[in-house]
Amino acid sequence: MVTGVSDARDPIADLRRIAFLLERANEATYRVRAFRSAAAALAGLPAVELTQRADAGTLTELTGVGEVTARCVAESLAGGEPVYLRRLLATEGTDLDEAAAALRAALRGDCHTHSDWSDGGSPIEEMALAAVELGHEYLVLTDHSPRLTVARGLTAARLRRQLDHVAALNAALPEGFRILTGIEVDILPDGSLDQSDELLDRLDVVVGSVHANLRDDRARMTRRMLTAVANPRLDILGHCTGRMVTSRPPGVTGPGDRGHRRRSRPPSDFDAEAVFAACAEHGKAVEINSRPERQDPPKRLIRLAVETGCLFAIDTDAHAPGQLDWQRFGCARAALCGVDVDRVVNTWSARRLVDWAAAHH
């Protein structure tokens, strides 16, 4: 019985925390969805009814609540940490080394994230609140551009609606935190960017990435990337090699990735020295993508970019709230390659970041 327990925990917060940790661990989507669905189903219940149902064992009669999630709720209401949560916390992994931890602590935001407006799995506000909990000061929302139809890329009309939606959300979010407007715009085969100049000029930060024709020959891919980097509307060169270093078994997908099955994929072939030199010349940042299956660019290219004098952005490319904590993976690789904190644009304040991007535009 949990009725009248004064030291009860918040069971909804515990369910959401479990979902977050599962996402961070890159567990299967259905597991994450089970806890998020239960949290959503129970969030609207009066506290008295929640307790009564837990006592009577009728939580599972509610749509979206299963035996495991009901047990977690009952354990929370009884004042104890749910066993499922305790086990997740006990297997989180090892701490970052000192250099990587210092870099992670210096980060003030994330410049590459997705929501359910394109191929992400969660609403913008849910992504933003997770970033707040991580201690971020800003989150750059970078949903996909029109031609990436497999990822529900935003047409110009949908992007305009998103800008209005973000403005409304920013008015309601905690003070000191801000969603910055952005896009992950496709770099097209001729090096142009897959959105109108007028809309790109309205955005705070523009990430440009190659998603198609990844097997272009070296000369063509180099020209394509150099053209994009020289474009004044591009700020950050996203996952520059396009590689995938790991594959996932059938039926297991990354939380929030709209069911896309990832396969290992070799890097694109291009003249990295020329591309990074152009990034340094034009003041553009090279993204260190933190997704475990990408690890892009590889360490040898990060070192080359350091030697070339490039700026960097350590981003998650998150498609779900728990993935926002993947920055630690990028920080570990950046620290190994000697990336200086001052060269990482998302260690800057939101104002400095926006001013830097505006200077390009």
Q: pLDDT 10s digit of each residue in the chain, 361 long? A: 454 444 679 999 999 999 988 888 777 788 888 999 999 999 989 989 999 999 999 999 999 999 999 999 999 999 999 988 987 887 665 567 888 999 999 999 999 999 999 999 999 999 999 999 999 999 999 999 999 999 999 999 999 999 999 999 999 999 999 999 999 999 999 999 999 999 999 999 999 999 999 999 999 999 999 999 999 999 999 999 999 987 543 333 444 454 444 568 999 999 999 999 999 999 999 999 999 999 999 999 999 999 999 999 999 999 999 999 999 999 999 999 999 999 999 999 999 999 999 999 8
11-90 fold: DNA polymerase; domain 1 (1.10.150)
Q: Using the Cα atoms of residue 357, residue 151, residue 328 and residue 15 in order, give the sign of their dihedral.
A: positive
- Burial state string for 290-320 with b = 16 or more CB within 10 A and e = fewer than 16: bbebbbbbbeebbebbbebebbbbbbbbbbb
Angle between helices 67-77 and 29-43 (to 10 degrees): 50
Give the pTM: 0.80
Nearest one of 90, 67, 145, 144 to 319, comparing CA atoms: 144
Q: How far is CA 240 from CA 66, 209, 296, in A?
A: 42, 7, 7
Cβ neighbours, 10 Å, residue 337: 20
Q: What angle do CA 341, 193, 116 make, to 5 degrees?
A: 75
Are the C-beta atoms of 325 and 305 separated by less than 8 Å?
A: no
Q: Taking the domains of the chain in order of start, what are their residue ranges?
A: 11-90, 98-360
Q: Regarding the domain with residue range 98-360, which homologous superfamily does it belong to in the CATH classification?
A: Metal-dependent hydrolases (3.20.20.140)
